[in-house]
Amino acid sequence: MTLFEIIGKLDELPEETYICARRPWRPDADALLVPFPEDLRIPQEMKAQGYEYFLEVSTACEILEGFIQSKPTPIQVADFIIYYAGNDAFPEGQQNL
């Protein structure tokens, strides 16, 4: 699965899930979903395969709330979330309204 595919299904995914992805974080990056483990850490086997914490599904949904009102294209949504995950901030000139 790719980041683009996961981001396109955010509204269908359980909020108690992490998105993990391989770098570089781009829409076509390999990604997977990890249910919250008891210790809330990314499982070591995922890290060994090159996956890193990207965002929680709930966080991704939350940051999109205002942005989605501008009716962005699917690639704009993916780029917005990827920027936020990599910078822990909204892209310049854009914010969650």
* pLDDT tens profile 57-88: 999 999 998 888 889 999 999 999 999 999 99
User: Could you identify the residue written with the tokens 């249910």?
Assistant: 35
Q: Report the share of the chain in percent with pLDDT over 90.
A: 75
Report yes or no: 80 and 72 within 8 Å, Cβ to Cβ: yes
pTM here? Answer: 0.86
> With 90 as the cut, is the pLDDT of residue 12 above it?
yes
What's the pLDDT at 37? 82
